[in-house]
């Protein structure tokens, strides 16, 4: 549980980031990867782009996985070397491609033949070369929420695996394109290592197919997706990176000299962040008791958007140490019925003014905030 003494005295709602836990997490990843000098871990900037957090991750020697021109900019500003930045996304705009080429990023993860043609055209205009990997849709199912499954044939992502050889041959005919390798990403918040094992099997099949066609990929990127324990963040503050990385050491048949890339987002930053909110009112309605807090889905959209669960802790009530636990719906102030964080949730007796933490909110929290209802965006602070 967080303690109130660790919190800054600032206007709620806000995010608080535990940079010591972030460092432990980064160290745990290092411990599992440092013996493999052909491995590259790129932090998925989309999970949390707070400048101080980005700087800490960059300083720890990670690369960056970006999905927009803005993210490439943020990664460069935080000190990620361009040579360790990869850029994915189904809809890269011309200006984003231009800026990434000028910055000299490691490679584009290209998602269609049309995009490849545009990158080639822009590289030619800039009189430079573009390094590209192809994002292949592996058609592998993942056991997670439908909104965060990305590797099924019906998803918009990637190039159909049947088209892989064709697009690589096209790329090889383009003067300004260097074909680098293959990229995959099957989904997010995955806790079953079997999903990653299935991806390994598919990658091995794709590699066999490449070789049969006389082609070779120097880089294999297996994306991100490792999940975290939202139910009990204090039991598992650092995800099981050992099991995750071992799945790939065991499952992938890498060829001589191949570089292996990972793109972890959530697993790096989720547990180090909490959203801190204050209880405004406790309303006993006809059938329910509502704890109405000053944070809404504008600050943390995951419950409303994905039905996601974030553990709720009444930090003030914990210091009072009184009162029978009661069932509350913890809801925000937004004018939408979906603005609910948890329902029928057992908490110690809660009062106006209590500080409440929504845990495991370091990933896809602050970064997905919106200004709906003309609400100010929440700020992120580092824990003292």
Query: Where do contacts with ligand LLP occur on this chain (CB under 6 A)?
Result: 44, 46-47, 65, 88, 148, 150, 185, 188-189, 223-226, 263-267, 302, 306, 364
Annotate 263-320 with three-state secondary structure. Answer: EECHHHHHHHEEEEEEEEEEEECCCCEEEEECCCCCCCCHHHHHCCCCCEEEHHHHHH
Is the Cβ of residue 270 or residue 279 nearer to ligand LLP in the bound state? 270
Using the 8-state DSSP alphabet, how is residue 129 labeled? -
Q: What does the alpha-carbon distance between residue 149 and residue 141 come to, in Å, rounded to a whole number?
A: 8
Secondary structure letter of residue 380 according to DSSP: E
What are the tokens at 340? 């609910």
Q: How far is the CB of 119 from ligand LLP (least distance, A)?
A: 17
- Classified as helix, coil or strand, 260 is strand
> Which of residues 273 and 348 has its CB atom nearest to ligand LLP in the complex?
273
CB of residue 305 vs ligand LLP: minimum separation in angstroms?
7
Distance, CA of 331 to CA of 292 (rounded, Å): 5
CA distances (Å), 324 to each of 9, 219, 287, 320, 343, in order?
28, 57, 19, 12, 18
Long-range Cβ contact pairs of 70-77 (< 8 A, separation 24 or more): 71/45, 71/46, 72/96, 72/99, 72/100, 72/103, 72/105, 73/99, 74/45, 74/49, 75/45, 76/103, 77/51
CB of 110 to ligand LLP, least distance (A): 12
Give the C-alpha separation, 179 to 214, whole Å.
14
The neighbour count for residue 32, using CB atoms within 10 Å, is: 18
Smaller CB separation from ligand LLP, 301 or 355:
301
Residue 119 is classified by DSSP as H
Name the nearest CA neighbour of 18 among 357, 373, 272.
272
To ligand LLP, the closest distance from the beta carbon of 8 in angstroms equals 25
Q: How far is the CB of 117 from ligand LLP (least distance, A)?
A: 21
- Comparing CB distances to ligand LLP, the nearer of 224 and 378 is 224
Q: Are 208 and 197 in contact (CB under 8 A)?
A: no
In whole angstroms, the minimum distance from the beta carbon of 46 to ligand LLP comes to 6
Distance between CA 245 and CA 28 in Å, rounded?
A: 11
The residue (of 148 and 292) whose beta carbon lies closer to ligand LLP is: 148
> 53 or 315: whose CB is closer to ligand LLP?
53
Question: How many residues are given for the chain?
Answer: 384
- Least spacing, CB of residue 301 vs ligand LLP, in Å: 8
**Secondary structure of residue 359 in the 3-state scheme:** coil
Which of residues 308 and 315 has its CB atom nearest to ligand LLP in the complex? Answer: 308
**Nearest CA among 121, 134, 64, 127 for reference residue 94:** 121
> CB of residue 87 vs ligand LLP: minimum separation in angstroms?
10
The tokens of 330 are what? 């913890």
Identify which of residues 290 and 306 has a Cβ nearer to ligand LLP in the complex. Answer: 306
Please, what is the minimum distance in Å from the beta carbon of residue 265 to ligand LLP?
A: 3
In angstroms, give the least distance from the CB of 288 to ligand LLP: 26
């Amino acid at each position: 549980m967080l303690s109130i003494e660790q919190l800054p005295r600032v206007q709620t709602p806000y995010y608080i980031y535990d940079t010591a836990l972030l460092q432990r997490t980064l160290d745990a990843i290092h411990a599992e990867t440092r013996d493999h000098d052909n491995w590259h871990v790129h932090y998925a900037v989309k999970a949390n782009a707070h400048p101080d957090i980005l700087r800490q991750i960059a300083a720890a020697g990670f690369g960056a996985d970006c999905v927009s021109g803005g993210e490439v900019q943020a990664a460069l500003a935080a000190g990620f070397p361009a040579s360790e930045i990869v850029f994915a996304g189904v809809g890269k705009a011309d200006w984003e491609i231009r800026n990434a080429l000028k910055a000299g990023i490691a490679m584009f993860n290209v998602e269609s033949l049309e995009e490849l043609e545009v990158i080639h055209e822009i590289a030619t205009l800039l009189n430079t070369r573009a390094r590209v990997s192809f994002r292949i849709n592996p058609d592998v199912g993942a056991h997670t929420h439908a909104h965060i499954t990305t590797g099924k044939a019906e998803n918009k992502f990637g190039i159909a695996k049947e088209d892989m050889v064709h697009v690589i041959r096209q790329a090889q005919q383009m003067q300004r394109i260097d074909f680098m390798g293959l990229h995959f990403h099957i989904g997010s918040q995955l806790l079953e290592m079997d999903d990653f094992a299935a991806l390994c099997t598919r990658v091995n099949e794709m590699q066999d197919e490449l070789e049969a066609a006389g082609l070779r990929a120097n880089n294999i990127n297996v994306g991100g997706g490792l999940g975290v324990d939202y139910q009990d963040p204090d039991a598992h503050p650092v995800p099981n990176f050992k099991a995750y990385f071992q799945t790939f050491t065991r499952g992938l048949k890498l060829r001589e000299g191949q570089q292996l890339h990972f793109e972890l987002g959530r697993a790096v930053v989720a547990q180090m962040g909490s959203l801190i909110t204050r209880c405004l009112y406790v309303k006993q309605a006809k059938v329910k008791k509502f704890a109405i807090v000053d944070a809404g889905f504008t600050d943390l959209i995951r419950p409303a958007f994905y039905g996601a669960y974030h553990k709720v802790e009444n930090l003030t009530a914990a210091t009072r140490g009184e009162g029978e636990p009661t069932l509350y719906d913890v809801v925000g102030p937004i004018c939408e019925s979906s603005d609910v964080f948890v329902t029928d949730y057992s908490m110690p007796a809660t009062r106006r003014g209590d500080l409440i933490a929504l845990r495991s909110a370091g990933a896809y929290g602050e970064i997905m905030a919106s200004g709906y209802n003309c609400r100010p965006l929440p700020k992120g602070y580092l824990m003292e």
